[in-house]
């Protein structure tokens, strides 16, 4: 097993190191970029309800408690592509990237579960400009750009306790608690250029790089219990089950260093040629205070008489960034807001495993909606966020395992009262494999 773990770590880190962020979103200029709650494809389809695994074959890095509820060892990965439109600009931008990669370790029947993986804490990518005029003979264009992101290598463990269960050891009371440790790493690059039309005037460029490395924890729980209905028969029908979950991330400091450059340059054959370095500040230690985050929610599962299953998800997230501060020199790190969101999701499975005879009957159909406000402000105005989503999880029957393909579509809308806005169409693709237990089953052959 240790060889599998080491191989998984190496594969995850190598693959993630080669992934590049190609987003172009002016909203990411402020703060530390766009905050993410993980890029789990199935959670995206449920409006971002990321506390609950929509399938116990899926690794949910946002909730360590869910590791103990995994059915078996599993691997998953995913990515997305998007098309963005902005107001008041008429530009259209297309981008794509890896989402997350994760490995969950679970022996069938065990009370313990473990997982590790890599995803994003924040991402940054923007590029826009505006003309300026000094006098009749001197003018040009001021350009703002940025790139980078803060990533998380997450490792965690969980344990569950069960009581009052039925003969199938599924329906009853289950309490799971878990803890994650996340190694935070990455860099954020903020750039500003002044390109003069007058060739007798030197152009200017200011580069500001912030690099962070630190460790932070988070804690979570999940509690499942039957509400009412039949709990005795092996095939579950006319049964309602509820799960409650919560996740708490304490306030922590992201420590790192900052490098600032001021450069004068001219263009020669389309290339920036440095003439002089005005000022340099290298390896200046600093930190950034990330406020505590609280998430809680619930899901109600209905096992219908027809054999179908309906899940209703709800989740609330709150994080007060007004309490955040930094001693890095960041001009766009000010006037932050309370980040809060409410997510709703519905999932439908046509038939249970006992009755299904084809892939369609085991396909998961998902719809989701999220509303709230971002942690940044623009011109002292809150940024409102709305997300509409849909997705499917298609089982790979030919593999004779619990493997599946995840497909998601999201329509994301950000806006302020004065007309700043963005509408983004996102298509997510992920896959999840659970063949490991079959690989390690010992068989005796004649």
What would the pLDDT profile of 349-374 be if each residue is shown by its tens digit? 888 766 667 778 888 899 999 999 99
Encoding tokens for residue 399? 């593999």
Distance from C-alpha of 370 to C-alpha of 44, rounded to nearest angstrom: 10
14 membership: H or E segment, kind and range: helix 2-17
Q: Using alpha carbons, select from 2, 4, 3 the residue that is nearest to residue 433.
A: 4
- The answer to whether the bond into 351 is cis (omega within 30° of 0) is no
Q: Strand (E) positions, 197-251? A: 203-229, 239-249
Is the four-CA dihedral 226, 232, 234, 236 of positive or negative sign? negative
How do residues 226-251 score in pLDDT, each as one tens digit? 887 765 655 566 788 899 999 999 99
- Other beta carbons within 10 angstroms of residue 383's beta carbon come to 22
Determine, yes or no, domain membership for 45. yes
How would residue 42 be classed by pLDDT, with cut points 50, 70 and 90? confident
Residue 312 covered by a domain: yes
Beta bridge partners of residue 373, listed in sequence order: 340, 384
Q: Are 76 and 3 in contact (CB under 8 A)?
A: no
Distance CA 209, CA 304 (A): 56
Q: Is the dihedral of CA 26, 31, 36, 37 positive or negative?
A: negative
Decide: 139 and 129 in contact? Cβ < 8 Å.
no
Q: Is residue 445 part of a domain?
A: no
Helix, strand, coil content of the chain in percent (nearest 5): 10, 60, 30
* CA–CA separation, 24 and 86 (whole Å): 10
Q: What's the predicted TM-score (pTM) here?
A: 0.83
> What is the full DSSP assignment across 391-424?
EEEEE-GGGTSS-EEEEEEEEEEEE-TTS-EEEE
58 three-state secondary structure: coil
In a domain, 350, yes or no: yes
Element at 109 (helix H, strand E):
none
State whether the Cα torsion 167-168-170-175 is positive or negative: positive
Mean pLDDT of the chain: 80
Q: Report strand pairing: 239-249 vs 309-320.
A: unpaired
Residues in the chain: 446
Q: What is the DSSP letter of 235?
A: S
115, 59 contact by CB (below 8 A): yes
Give the span between the Cα atoms of 230 and 241, in whole angstroms: 10
Query: How much is the pLDDT for 96?
Result: 72
431: which strand partners?
77, 405
77 inside domain: yes
Query: What pLDDT score does 246 carry?
Result: 95
Residue 352 in tokens:
């249970």
On the question of pLDDT at 9 being above 80, the answer is no
Number of independent structural domains in the chain: 1
The string of pLDDT tens digits covering residues 203-229 is 888 888 999 999 999 999 999 988 877
Identify the pLDDT of residue 369: 95
User: Which of helix, strand or coil describes residue 26?
Assistant: helix
Nearest one of 122, 150, 375, 116 to 255, comparing CA atoms? 150
Pick 132 or 368 by higher pLDDT: 368
The predicted model gives 271-285 an average pLDDT of 79
Residue 446 placed within a domain: no
User: What's the confidence (pLDDT) of residue 48?
Assistant: 84
Element (H, E) at 89: none
Domain enclosing residue 111, as ranges: 2-439
pLDDT computed for residue 98 by the predictor:
73
Is 50 exceeded by the pLDDT of residue 403? yes
Specify if 444 maps to a domain.
no
CB 412 within 8 A of CB 426: yes
308 lies in a domain?
yes
Domain harbouring 397, CATH code: 2.40.160
- Alpha-carbon gap, residue 47 to 370, rounded angstroms: 5
Residues 6+ apart with CB under 8 A from 146: 28, 29, 33, 124, 125, 126, 127, 188, 189, 190, 191
- Report the distance separating Cα 123 and Cα 149, nearest Å: 4
pLDDT for the residue numbered 196 = 79
CA-CA distances (angstroms) from residue 22 to 47, 91, 186? 23, 16, 15
| 287 vs 27, higher pLDDT | 287
Residue 18's pLDDT is 40
């Amino acid at each position: 097993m240790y060889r599998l773990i080491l191989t998984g770590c190496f594969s995850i880190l190598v693959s993630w190191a080669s992934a590049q962020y190609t987003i172009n979103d002016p909203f990411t200029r402020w703060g530390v970029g766009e905050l993410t709650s993980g890029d789990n494809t199935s959670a995206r389809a449920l409006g971002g309800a990321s506390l609950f695994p929509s399938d116990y074959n899926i690794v949910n890095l946002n909730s360590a408690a869910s590791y103990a509820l995994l059915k078996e060892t599993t691997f998953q990965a995913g990515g997305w592509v998007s098309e963005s439109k902005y107001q008041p600009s008429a530009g259209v931008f297309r981008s794509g990237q890896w989402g997350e990669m994760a490995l969950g370790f679970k022996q069938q029947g065990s009370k313990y579960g473990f997982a590790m993986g890599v995803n994003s804490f924040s991402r940054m990518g923007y590029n826009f400009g505006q003309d300026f005029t000094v006098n009749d003979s001197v003018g040009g264009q001021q350009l703002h750009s940025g790139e980078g992101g803060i990533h998380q290598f997450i490792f965690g463990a969980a344990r569950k306790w069960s009581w009052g269960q039925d003969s199938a050891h599924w329906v009853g009371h289950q309490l799971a608690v878990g803890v994650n440790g996340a190694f935070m790493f990455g860099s954020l690059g903020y750039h500003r250029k002044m390109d003069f039309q007058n060739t007798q005037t030197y152009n200017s460029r200011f580069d500001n790089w912030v690099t962070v490395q630190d460790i932070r924890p988070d804690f979570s729980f999940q509690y499942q219990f039957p509400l009412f209905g039949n709990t005795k028969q092996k095939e579950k029908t006319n049964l309602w089950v509820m799960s409650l979950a919560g996740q708490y991330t304490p306030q922590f400091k992201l420590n790192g260093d900052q490098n600032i450059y001021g450069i004068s340059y001219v263009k020669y054959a389309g290339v920036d040629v440095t003439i002089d370095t005005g000022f340099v500040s290298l390896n200046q230690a600093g930190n950034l205070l990330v406020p505590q985050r609280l998430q809680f929610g619930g899901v109600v599962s209905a096992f219908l008489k027809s054999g179908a299953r309906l899940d209703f998800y709800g989740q609330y997230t709150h994080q007060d960034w007004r309490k955040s501060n930094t001693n890095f020199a960041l001009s766009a790190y000010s006037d932050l807001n309370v980040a809060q969101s409410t997510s709703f999701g519905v999932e439908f499975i046509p038939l249970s495993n006992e009755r299904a005879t084809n892939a369609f009957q085991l396909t998961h159909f998902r719809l989701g909606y999220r509303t709230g406000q971002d942690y940044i402000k623009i011109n002292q105005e809150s940024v409102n966020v709305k997300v509409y989503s849909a997705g499917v999880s298609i089982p790979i029957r030919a593999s004779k395992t619990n493997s599946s393909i995840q497909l998601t579509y999201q329509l994301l809308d950000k806006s302020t009262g004065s007309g700043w806005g963005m509408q983004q169409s996102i298509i997510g693709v992920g896959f999840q494999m659970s063949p490991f237990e079959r690989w390690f089953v010992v068989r005796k052959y004649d």
